[in-house]
Chains A and B, each alone.
Chain A
Amino acid sequence: MRRKKFNRDTGKIEADMTSMIDVVFLLLIFFMLATKFKMPEGTLRTFLPKNRGDSNSRPMMSETCRVTLMMQGNSVVAYADQALVPTSGLLDSDFEAYTGVPGPDLDFIQDHILLRKNTFVPLGDNPTLPVVIDFAENVPYKYVIDVLNIVYKLELDQVRFAMPENPYE
């Protein structure tokens, strides 16, 4: 096997780089094709309350804003307190484009919570308006996160999730 060649003109011994470059380019192409850049994932903080004891559903005495999400057929129906949230006329998200079913108007929910926030009178251990998100188990998770996102956008940090009697079922 020829590993080094003698250059008569310069009098130097040179290594043949061709095969190494072949392998290196092969590796480069492999890694370029195999690489998939990962999108940075964030989180929304949903820390569980420490002071709930063993009770899953303790009645809340203070003023709250309640957003209810439920399914009717294939559509998500939302209520902001007692107000029925109109359906968005557009397929706003990739999920809605995929299912072909528009979701509730998120701007309506945001405006409603903002109105409640602005008229909220701080009381006792609730310096900001507590928001309760009450959702049926078959509502797509996306809509729960949409409501949670609105709550954080309005700088409200007291979020509660309404829990069913037996969540394990």
Chain B
Amino acid sequence: MARKKQKKMPEGVEMDMTPMIDIVFLLIVFFMVVTELTVQQAVVVLPVASESRVEEPQAGSRILFVNVSFDKNGKEMMQLLNGAPLTADRLLVELKAEAQAYGVWEDNPYNPETRLSGLEVTIRCDQGVGAGVIHKIFAVCKDAAIYKVRCAAIGERFEDPYSDQP
């Protein structure tokens, strides 16, 4: 079988690799910046709510994330970020400690004897979890003098979150 004759480049002609290397480095830097190598939040299938708003945190504010999801055995569990599973009582202790550490307090116009923490709590709860856990978290936040509570949701979902489940 006749083989194709390889075209020979004229001697002394070289490809300039500089622009390609520039672009490749640019891509690497981009992917390095956007990649989250450490998991900072528990994996939660958030509910969809068209009215949910992405709010930029104000300067100096502190937001704590309480995640509610399922463990490996399908049991509901509460966590701060992706920490150890917590009971409601333990969550209360943790939130009180966080509120103390944050140290920002607001006067309560309805009850001058009490103060309210400036700490914010965002509940990231799996859409399949029993909603009773919300009662618990609200009660814990109330007892920890935290009133700024938000429920996380996504505006729109583009992929089926259960596609990899039987």
Contact = CB atoms under 8 A, between A and B. Distances in A.
Q: Answer yes or no: are A and B bound together in one complex.
A: yes
Interface of A: 9-10, 17, 21, 24-25, 27-28, 31-32, 34-53, 56, 69, 93-95, 97-99, 135-146, 148-149, 152-153, 161, 163-164, 167-168
B3 interface: no
Given A47-B149, A137-B131, A38 B88 contact: no
Nearest to B130: A138
Interface of B: 11-12, 17, 21, 24-25, 27-28, 31-32, 34-37, 45-55, 68, 88-89, 108-111, 116, 122, 124-136, 138-139, 141-142, 146-155, 157-158, 160-162, 165
Contact of B31 (A28, A39, A69, A168): A28
B109 A50 contact: yes
Contact of B136 (A27, A45, A168): A168
A98 B165 CA distance: 9
B49 A94 contact: no
Contacts of B21: 17, 21, 24
A43 B52 contact: yes
Contacts of B37: 34
A163 to B, nearest CB: 6
A167 B136 CA distance: 5
Contacts, number: 187
B54 A41 contact: yes
Contacts of B134: 141, 144, 161
A28 B28 contact: yes
Contacts of A37: 34
B47 A141 contact: yes
A94 B47 CA distance: 10
Contacts of B68: 141
Contacts of A163: 135, 138-139
A85 B11 CA distance: 82
B162 A46 contact: no
A51 B116 CA distance: 11
Nearest to B132: A137
A168 B89 contact: yes
A35 B53 CA distance: 25
A82 to B, nearest CB: 22
Contact of A139 (B49, B54, B130): B130
A135 B131 contact: yes
A31 B35 contact: yes
A136 B155 CA distance: 25
Contacts of A161: 134-135, 138
A24 B24 contact: yes
Given A37-B34, A50-B147, A42 B152 contact: yes
Contacts of A40: 54, 154-155
A41 B88 contact: no
Contacts of B149: 46-48
A50 B50 contact: no
Contacts of A142: 47, 127-128
